[in-house]
Structure 1
Amino acid sequence: MNKFEKLGLNEQLLMAIEDMGFETPSEVQEKAIPVLLANDTDMVSLAQTGTGKTAAFGFPLIQKINANDKTTQGLILSPTRELCLQITNELKNYAKYVKGLRVVAIYGGASITEQARDVKRGAQIIVATPGRMQDMINRRMVDITEIEYCVLDEADEMLNMGFYEDISSILSHTPKEKNTWLFSATMPREVATIAKKFMHSPEEITVGTKNSGTDTVQHEYYLVNGRERYLALKRLADANPDIFSVIFCRTKRDTQNVAEKLIEDGYNAAALHGDLSQNQRDMVMKAFRTRQIQMLVATDVAARGIDVDDITHVINYQLPDEIEIYNHRSGRTGRAGKSGISIVIVAKSELRKIKAIEKVLKKQFEAKKIPSSMEICEIQLYHLASKIKNTEINEEVNHYLPAINDVLRDIDREELIKKMVSVEFGRFFNYYKNAKDLNVNATGRDKAPAVDDIPGEGDVRYFINVGERDGYDWKSLKDFLRDTVDLDRDDIFKVDVKESFSFFNTNAAHTEIILQTFTDFKKDGRFVNIEISKNPGGSHKGRGRKRNGNKFSGPNKGFGKKGRKGRRR
């Protein structure tokens, strides 16, 4: 007896379940399906991404829908186009034996008139993104005034993306007596507000602990100098030859830069961010799903709705501001009961964030070391040997064997193996043989500012290695800093521009984000460096530094007496 039968599902759904090869329901399915089938109730279900939530609401919804009535009876809102299409396809598979049931997807980036035409033909279930749904309601292309069921899937994702107003407006066009089923990985304040405003005494189901991480994900962090994040990323990739990962960056610019560097260095990588067209995005996602891309570098917004199984690693190239966002990132791996690893590449200034995440997720991070050069060479050597052993022989090679044997006839078996392996092994050995240790001692001295070195309150004065010679005055430098760090104009003050360097102040609350943003930061091919000034009065003594041939100029001793005076604002 299939275990799904015990949940109360009808014969049509059980036949589809058998076709799909499902045997055992997940925890969220076991808890949600019987309740939703037995009662006309509202429900809040808290469960991580990848735990089978679509089936948890999809099976009961299909069973309760009247397929003989062509009016729209169910509405599912999801955060992104990708997730919208995925839910639609899954529901169609679930309902393959339910005659007359139609599921229509409504999302941006496609013809709104064609979607309206599909709805008009009869759509008992609509799956929609909030923005396109609101647009169609405003144009009176869709009628949801008589729906009986409304599902909010990935509710926290939708609200993080700024859809609160759209969702509230959409729900205001639906009947009060409908059943609302809310599915979310976390329960931030905005989700609780939606539940309180639009739901009536909802049943609550929690899989795991509220706002906790999944048990199938291992959390690790690697402490490095902030300017060596990219080198650390490369070593982690080389130490995991079969890596299939999503790498998260904070900004579109960083996402593009990291992806371009990886591609230049020979990795199968691509960027996914908001500046891509829908066609470009579709091409990237298709290549990622088919594993033509091993390392997908993405912003949080662009990655929402990605539902790809077997992701081995999530790599936090930079930590997000919100702990809930880290939870969503790590939820991309360790899906469907499989194990996964969430990695954080972290500078000393960010260690306090690790502790905060541990506290909320109730998960312990393991402090690990970036593999040494020889460790990576050893891993790559064994990987190559395994790859050769497991490679299927292409019989077409037989045609060329006589000539190949003729070339290799004077080489014995052991020497031949050494030569074959050396072709690939030599590449890594030559690259890494003089590579330095990237690991930073959490308690020792290094270039990265320690947690205790960053002021907790008051004003902080900074040194930046650009000035009038680079075309800046106090106003344009202030605008550059504000736009780059995404601060308000008044957050930056006491801007003092010299010839080849400058100073400025902010409140201490902005120090961490400023130092993070200007870690390994380039403008017009040149590194722009920001440090906390040792002298709050503004003088900054120090030697120039070189990065990739670019010299950082520090002020010369006695500059204040002979140099040009900067303008202060």
Structure 2
Amino acid sequence: MMLRLSYLKPIFAAIFKIYMNTFESLGLSQEILEAVKDMGFESPSEVQEKTIPILLEEPTDMVALAQTGTGKTAAFGFPLIQNIDLNSKSTQGLILSPTRELCLQITNELKSYAKHYKNLNTVAVYGGASITDQAKQIKKGAQIIVATPGRMKDMIRRNIIDISKIDICILDEADEMLNMGFFEDIKEILSHSPATKNTWLFSATMPKEVAQIAKKFMQNPKEITIGKKNVSTKNVTHEYFIVAGRDRYNAMKRLVDANPDIYAVVFCRTKRDTQKVAERLIEDGYSASAIHGDLSQNQRDLVMKSFRSKSIQMLVATDVAARGIDVDDITHVINYQLPDEIETYTHRSGRTGRAGKEGTSMVIITKSEIRKIKQVERIIGQSFVAKELPTGDEICKVQLLHLAKEVHNTEINHDIDPYVDQLESQFEDISKEDLIKKFFSVEFTRFHNYYKNAPKLTKPSEDRGGKSSASYGDETRFFINVGEKDGFNWMSLKDFLKETLDLGRDAVARVDVKNTFSFFNVPNDDVEKVKALFEDFKLFGRHVNVEITKDKKKSGGGFKGKRSGKRHSSGKGSGKRDFKSGGRNRDRSVNKSIERRRKKQ
């Protein structure tokens, strides 16, 4: 008998495993299970398996770390819906999210989850829409409110929303909310909520700010980690391409052309770069559009609708605007520029490789950014593959074979049958081989002619130390008396110089920031423009000194004590800022930059 049971053990184990990997095993209500069936979900994701039973079992606080695209919305949405008292119209659940797009996305998903519940009302509260209309919806009764912090804070201040009786508060994409400077807003919002509520914090990464908010607002939270903290999903391959700064756009074009079926998000650091890159892609015949904070809500909705329907092949976005992008079929993420915050890369790469599919994250960098790749590798727990840009011949071959595949797989339209005889007569004097060549030359010639004359993009030279060579070729190196003490790092100084000088795409290169001074390169043709602009330029109420370096082999050692005391100033001055020629206002502290990002909401 014992022998027979030993044979049955593997069978029972297999059956048990199959049962445990179902939504039925999580303790969900019949109404939610019916909704799950309607949506075609077959089995729960790892984050759902680990969080849902805990959140349904007993009231608790929770910190859950999981990457974007792993099913986090259902992980907190199912238990939240099941905990709502349908007999009460008071607000019982609050979800805070960083952006309007994500707010709307969560709201729509919750409505799908609760479609078989009667009298459950979920309302989205966000900036850029009529506050009067949102107030009317709240007044009708909203058991669940999904909100961006800025609009939520405003509606509480106006006594439109009462969260004094909520049972559950969910902070979704907590790391991004804190990165956008919403810490004080969150503190104020939660000060109007009861101390007895449960707080569920969901985040892709765990920077120290997220740990601080967990410590401040939660009591002995359960901790769930899917994979390792801050790591990227294993479904994504990470690649980087080294180019000269001025070749960044042409390098991106090659990557796009080498992947004919690409369906991608292209990330830029600033709204200005986002718009320019999108416009240039459209001018070059690509199906692209931009999404950033300067667009109205209606414009953003139209862009996202076009992208989801694949009317747009490439979406060029800022990190903030991209928080609401939830599309499972994205094949590539292209990092046109690395983000200011290294942790943000995890969010970017999480746009692809979703729902079990494979994805590729490509990074276009200059020589000086290689060190940043190493930092990203440590954070995401994966290695990058250094790759060479595809050659013109390689791209032409890929495009030709792709066109042939499309023709081969095209379904025949029999409406042309009456004209087949006439078509055949047109080609009677042409051999099969020549006919094929002529047919494909119609499309192929465009690529061939472009890449036949296109400049060769080569990786910039490096010496044995991994640094660029002493010769700057057609560039000139400048000294400027601002640095880390003025609130700059190399990325923010580069952005400031680009916008102030208005030299075009990627004209500012090799930015090297020290404590009280910095260095940067510009093309030789722009030297006089730089000199003229900074001849009488004030920053933080003091004069900015810009000069051509005398020793190109050094990063500043030859300048100690040579300048006037201006560059050693603390930078406080009168506090007045005088930016000319379109330069943007920039506070010395990082908080000013954060404040600008918050205002987009």
Q: Shared fold (TM-score greater than 0.5)?
A: yes
1:4 corresponding residue in structure 2 = 23
Report the alpha carbon displacement of residue 268 of structure 1 after superposing the two structures with TM.
0.7
CA distance in 1 between partners of 2:470 and 2:228 (Å): 35
- The answer to whether the aligner puts 1:91 opposite 2:110 as a matched pair is yes
Map 1:406-445 → 2, pairs under 5 A: 406-440=425-459, 443-444=462-463
Report the alpha carbon displacement of residue 411 of structure 1 after superposing the two structures with TM.
2.4
CA distance in 2 between partners of 1:171 and 1:325 (Å): 26
> Which moves more between the two structures, 273-282 or 45-54?
273-282
Contact 1:102 1:123 survives alignment (8 Å): yes
CA distance in 1 between partners of 2:509 and 2:462 (Å): 23
Contact 1:227 1:520 survives alignment (8 Å): no
2:502 corresponding residue in structure 1 = 523
1:450 corresponding residue in structure 2 = 467
Partner of 2:324, secondary structure, is coil
- The answer to whether the aligner puts 1:202 opposite 2:210 as a matched pair is no
Report the alpha carbon displacement of residue 524 of structure 1 after superposing the two structures with TM.
6.9
**Which one of the candidate residues 215, 231, 234 is aligned to 1:212?**
231
CA distance in 1 between partners of 2:58 and 2:351 (Å): 32
Deviations 1:380-438 (CA, angstroms, capped at 9, x unpaired): 11100011111223333345445433433332332211111111111111111243432
1:130 corresponding residue in structure 2 = 149
**Which one of the candidate residues 335, 350, 366 is aligned to 1:316?**
335
Q: List, as ranges, runs of 4+ consecutive aligned residues in structure 1 with deviation greater than 6 Å.
A: 451-454, 505-509, 516-522, 524-527, 530-533, 550-555, 565-569
Contact 1:543 1:553 survives alignment (8 Å): no
> Which moves more between the two structures, 427-436 or 14-23?
427-436
> Which moves more between the two structures, 401-410 or 140-149?
401-410
Partner of 1:117, secondary structure, is helix
2:248 corresponding residue in structure 1 = 229
Rate the CA distance shift 1:92–1:424 in 2: closer, same or farther, 3 A: same
- The answer to whether the aligner puts 1:158 opposite 2:149 as a matched pair is no
What letter corresponds to residue 382 of structure 2 in structure 1?
Answer: K
Rate the CA distance shift 1:53–1:381 in 2: closer, same or farther, 3 A: same
- The answer to whether the aligner puts 1:246 opposite 2:261 as a matched pair is no
**Which one of the candidate residues 184, 191, 197 is aligned to 1:172?**
191
**Which one of the candidate residues 203, 206, 209 is aligned to 1:184?**
203
1:473 corresponding residue in structure 2 = none
2:302 corresponding residue in structure 1 = 283
1:69 corresponding residue in structure 2 = 88
Rate the CA distance shift 1:129–1:506 in 2: closer, same or farther, 3 A: closer
- The answer to whether the aligner puts 1:374 opposite 2:393 as a matched pair is yes
**Which one of the candidate residues 342, 345, 358 is aligned to 2:361?**
342
Report the alpha carbon displacement of residue 82 of structure 1 after superposing the two structures with TM.
1.2
Report the alpha carbon displacement of residue 176 of structure 1 after superposing the two structures with TM.
0.5
CA distance in 2 between partners of 1:239 and 1:184 (Å): 34
> Which moves more between the two structures, 18-27 or 407-416?
407-416
Rate the CA distance shift 1:426–1:518 in 2: closer, same or farther, 3 A: farther
> Which moves more between the two structures, 522-531 or 238-247?
522-531
Report the alpha carbon displacement of residue 443 of structure 1 after superposing the two structures with TM.
3.6
Deviations 1:206-244 (CA, angstroms, capped at 9, x unpaired): 001011111111111011111111111000000001111
Rate the CA distance shift 1:507–1:111 in 2: closer, same or farther, 3 A: closer
CA distance in 2 between partners of 1:462 and 1:313 (Å): 35
1:361 corresponding residue in structure 2 = 380
2:577 corresponding residue in structure 1 = none
Contact 2:292 2:318 survives alignment (8 Å): yes
Report the alpha carbon displacement of residue 462 of structure 1 after superposing the two structures with TM.
4.2
Rate the CA distance shift 1:192–1:453 in 2: closer, same or farther, 3 A: farther
Report the alpha carbon displacement of residue 512 of structure 1 after superposing the two structures with TM.
6.2
Contact 2:509 2:522 survives alignment (8 Å): no
Report the alpha carbon displacement of residue 270 of structure 1 after superposing the two structures with TM.
1.2
Deviations 1:237-259 (CA, angstroms, capped at 9, x unpaired): 00001111111111122111111
Contact 2:245 2:507 survives alignment (8 Å): no
Task: Report the aligned-residue RMSD.
Answer: 3.3
Rate the CA distance shift 1:553–1:61 in 2: closer, same or farther, 3 A: closer
What letter corresponds to residue 502 of structure 2 in structure 1?
Answer: K
2:555 corresponding residue in structure 1 = none
CA distance in 2 between partners of 1:313 and 1:526 (Å): 23
Rate the CA distance shift 1:10–1:225 in 2: closer, same or farther, 3 A: same
1:497 corresponding residue in structure 2 = none
What letter corresponds to residue 450 of structure 1 in structure 2?
Answer: K
Rate the CA distance shift 1:224–1:527 in 2: closer, same or farther, 3 A: closer
TM-score (norm 1): 0.82
1:102 corresponding residue in structure 2 = 121
> Which moves more between the two structures, 358-367 or 24-33?
358-367
Rate the CA distance shift 1:198–1:305 in 2: closer, same or farther, 3 A: same
What letter corresponds to residue 426 of structure 1 in structure 2?
Answer: T
CA distance in 1 between partners of 2:116 and 2:529 (Å): 72
- Stretches of structure 1 that go unaligned for 5 or more consecutive residues are 455-460, 465-477, 479-489, 493-504, 534-539, 556-564
Rate the CA distance shift 1:511–1:304 in 2: closer, same or farther, 3 A: closer
Contact 2:94 2:166 survives alignment (8 Å): yes
CA distance in 2 between partners of 1:341 and 1:203 (Å): 33
Rate the CA distance shift 1:260–1:526 in 2: closer, same or farther, 3 A: closer
Partner of 2:343, secondary structure, is helix
> Which moves more between the two structures, 135-144 or 434-443?
434-443
Deviations 1:2-26 (CA, angstroms, capped at 9, x unpaired): 8111111121111111111111100
Partner of 1:311, secondary structure, is coil
Rate the CA distance shift 1:280–1:399 in 2: closer, same or farther, 3 A: farther
- The answer to whether the aligner puts 1:463 opposite 2:478 as a matched pair is yes
- Stretches of structure 2 that go unaligned for 5 or more consecutive residues are 1-18, 513-518, 532-546, 549-562, 567-601
Report the alpha carbon displacement of residue 123 of structure 1 after superposing the two structures with TM.
1.4
1:391 corresponding residue in structure 2 = 410
Identity of aligned residues (%): 61
Rate the CA distance shift 1:334–1:526 in 2: closer, same or farther, 3 A: closer
TM-score (norm 2): 0.78
Q: How many residues end up aligned between the 2 structures?
A: 507
> Which moves more between the two structures, 513-522 or 89-98?
513-522
**Which one of the candidate residues 323, 326, 351 is aligned to 1:304?**
323
